[in-house]
Amino acid sequence: MSEAKKLHVALFPWLAFGHMIPFFELAKLIAQRGHKISFISTPRNIQRLPKVPPNLAPLINLVSLPLLTVEHLPQNAEATTDIPSHKTPYLKIAFDGLQGPLHQFFQTSTPDWIIYDFAPHWLPPILANLGISGVFFSMYGAWTLSFLGSSTSAMINREDSRTRPEDFTVPPEWIPFPSKIAFGLHEAKRAFGDHIEVNNSGFSDVFRLGSVIGGCNVIAIRNCNELESNFSRLVGELHCKPVVPIGLLPPADFDGSSDQDDMWLTIKEWLDKQNKGLPFFWALRKRENSVKLPDGFEERVKGRGTVWTSWVPQLKIMGHESVGGFLTHCGYASIIEALYFELPLIMMPISIDQGLIARFFGEKMVGIEITKDEKDGSLRRESVAESLRLIMVEKEGRGYRDKAKEMKKLIADKDMHDRYVDHFVEFMQNHRVA
């Protein structure tokens, strides 16, 4: 390959760590190829990011933009992890207030490309005026993008033939191949109020998503053709945009023996003693006014389980030999990490896209979804116990365990995922706005 010009690439993720961390991993991968990076977020989030590797420090500039003070948003709340979910629209209002500072940054720093998330519906016109190329980097799988809208204009102008929650419980008519990916009724009802219709931020999430897709030069998806190609191809056809898979961004250079800090040693000591039955390690990150355990719960499960309410080293826990399965809310990044360690999935989705992720990986037979009440999304303790036993110990679950092991080969293929990133970087080098 001939020596192409080195790029200056800015990255601007939504204020959630499930978005910021994959953006940060992509930033490091681009920097490894010799390109200059500006990673843009707010001061507290910048401080909470993983450390930049010393060899990449000269190429990665961490840019802090101050977040507006917004009514109903607690002081120092700069990410979704800092607030209960019903206050997320107010975080989006604060995020929209970054428009002015970001515009100023572009005028002085002039990146060749900016890679951005679903939320800044106001960003594409700014980029067009300044002659900066834009990548929409989707944290959502191609199946979710396909499900949410038939075209950019339909998403922006709310021209969807689906007008009731019930309409979202079946695959849409524009998906031309067999698929079971759709919302459950309880998911559709919640999505309608929180994401499909206008929320307290002043805009619907679908409007935001349609706007950034409509204004980008290319759609980048955390995906690879070896996992699926039909939905990725369909996204390009629906939105008339090039779609570039960037690989799955699997865990890089995992070493379970490193960073022997006191917290990990405490957790490891407990894990080392577990080898039979179904003991559990529950990482329960408590948000304000969120999950409350029943009185006496921790005392009753003593000896059978541990509830950990602060940050945990998830990769180290998953890589421990005593861990045999992963009960997950179905965040895409966590599922990729679990399958990297050959862990079959017990899926309990919560937010808008997680149900669709559960359906997708359910079709891959790498785990099962816990049965919920269709109307209200409640679940029975018996359903949880039955799902855990099936996946973890029973003969009937062996097929899921075997499929999870097979998926490891795909996710751990570093050379393959590197080629996807190489192709993405080459695309940016060859398709900049003149």
Q: Where are the domains of the chain?
A: 8-250+413-430, 262-411
> CA 90, 159, 191 angle in degrees (round to 5)?
40
Both tokens assigned to 57: 């420090």
Kind of pairing between the strands at 218-221 and 36-41: unpaired
Helical segments of 301-413, H only: 314-318, 332-340, 354-363, 381-392, 398-411
N residues, the chain: 434
10-residue averages of pLDDT along the chain (434 residues): 79 96 97 98 96 96 95 93 92 97 94 97 96 95 95 93 93 95 93 88 95 97 96 97 96 57 86 82 67 82 84 88 92 94 94 92 96 87 92 94 96 96 96 71
Give dist(CA 215, CA 368) in Å, integer. 37
Among 32, 79, 68, CA closest to 421: 32
Among 358, 417, 428, 415, CA closest to 182: 358
- Which fold does the domain 262-411 belong to in CATH? Rossmann fold (3.40.50)
Give dist(CA 206, CA 5) in Å, integer. 36
Answer whether 8-250+413-430 and 262-411 agree in fold: yes
Per-residue pLDDT, 2 = 44
Amino acid at 306: T
- Which fold does the domain 8-250+413-430 belong to in CATH? Rossmann fold (3.40.50)
Per-residue pLDDT, 432 = 77
Is the pTM above the cut of 0.75? yes
Task: Label residues 352-380 b or e (16+ Cβ within 10 Å = b).
Answer: bbbbbbbbbbbebebbbbbebeeeebeee
Per-residue pLDDT, 379 = 86
**Phi, psi at residue 325, to the nearest 5°?**
-170, 165
Give dist(CA 418, CA 415) in Å, integer. 5
Per-residue pLDDT, 291 = 65
Amino acid at 388: L
